[in-house]
Structure 1
Amino acid sequence: MATDKTGAPTTVTAGEDTFTIAVDGQKVGLVAFVDHGGQRIFLHTEVKDEFEGRGLASILVSEALAATREAGLRIVAVCPMVADYLDRHRDFDDLVDPLTHDTKRFLQRLQGG
């Protein structure tokens, strides 16, 4: 179990299309994704305003990427937070795929566009 910058214990939980992070049992953030064709496409990351600056998004993204590796999936970072994390932590370079036209079309269909 990781702790945030204040020393508070955190818990990251995997769901069907999100990973959530909780502090002292309270859900305070999430990273949304969709799995497609052997890839996990990370769409959006958010942490409640009152919990910003505590390193929670980094803990959340780190755990989500580790779980993606364990699941044998490739990583596509649509979310700027995930892309930034990957730029700063090169240990996932072997799993990162670029955002392709096919992936963009898939996401447009998914969003009804």
Structure 2
Amino acid sequence: MTTDKTGAPTEVTQESDRFSISVDGKKAGFTEFVDHENQRIFPHTEIDDEFGGRGLATILVRGALDATRDAGLRVVPVCSMVAGFIDKNPEYKDIADPVTTEVKRLLSQK
């Protein structure tokens, strides 16, 4: 189990259209995704203000990307948090695809 910067236990879980992170059993944030063909598109990540500064977005995105890799999917980091995480963690660049006009069009239809 991963702990945040305060030492509190965290849990990342996958739902139908998002990964959520909980701290001590309380939901603290999420990153949304849209699966399209062999890609998982990440348009938005959010951590509740009361949990800010604890490193939860990093834990959440790492868990989401690991699960995406395990599922055999590629990542399209539309969300700036996900894109920034990949920039800082080159071990995920091999599964990252660029944000294309087709991806933007797909998201605008959601």
Normalization by structure 2: what TM-score? 0.97
1:78 alignment counterpart: 78
The letter for the 1-side match of 2:77 is A
2:104 alignment counterpart: 104
Q: How far 1:103 moved relative to its partner?
A: 1.3
Q: Deviations over 1:30-62 (max 9, x none)?
A: 000100011000011111101100000000000
Structure 1 unaligned spans of 5+: none
Number of aligned residue pairs: give it: 110
Give the RMSD, CA atoms, in angstroms: 0.7
1:27 alignment counterpart: 27
Structure 2 unaligned spans of 5+: none
Q: How far 1:74 moved relative to its partner?
A: 0.4
2:18 alignment counterpart: 18
Runs of 4+ in 1 over 3 A off after TM superposition: none
The letter for the 2-side match of 1:97 is D
